[in-house]
Amino acid sequence: MTNTRRWQLPFVMVLALYGAVVWLLTGLLPVKDGAPDWFAPLRAGGWMAWSFPTALFFLTILLLLALMAVWEYASPGGNPRVGLLRFETTRGDRLFISLLGSAYIHLAWLGLIGPNLWWALALSVVYAIGVFRFV
């Protein structure tokens, strides 16, 4: 099996599993006035208000970790390099820096601008691309 084919099947399997879980979650959405209520708790009276966006957030973090595992399987070693921060980082380090920075971007956006987070998400994606490229 070639090196390219070595990671394709696990990558597709992880994405398919993510899609299946999101699809199942949409089936669990409560209905209000005949339409899905995206922000209502998925389980009323639970220990945490697991709304669809909250569940999707944590599933996306799990997806990123699974994809990093597939990437490590396909190309072991983590590709360490020295970037702008002037210390050696691996792919996992850069993912952690991206997630941490994105959390701060979203918190600052909430505090300074307001609850519409779509532009904060776009800024976080640009930030993550920059971290993986230059750090």
pTM of full prediction above 0.95: no
φ and ψ at residue 35, rounded to 5 degrees: -125, 150
Whether 91 and 55 map to the same domain: the answer is no
68 burial type by CB count under 10 A (0-12 exposed, 13-18 middle, 19+ buried): middle
Whether 91 and 122 map to the same domain: the answer is yes
Whether 123 and 59 map to the same domain: the answer is no
Q: How far apart are CA 95 and CA 59, in angstroms?
A: 16
Tens of pLDDT, residue by residue over 21-63, are 888 888 878 888 888 888 888 777 777 777 888 888 888 888 8
Neighbours of 63 (CB within 10 A): 18
Taking residues 119-129, report their average pLDDT: 94
Structural domain count of the chain: 2
Whether 83 and 69 map to the same domain: the answer is no
Q: Find out whether 80 and 89 touch, Cβ atoms under 8 Å.
A: yes
Cα 17 to its chain centre, rounded Å, is 14
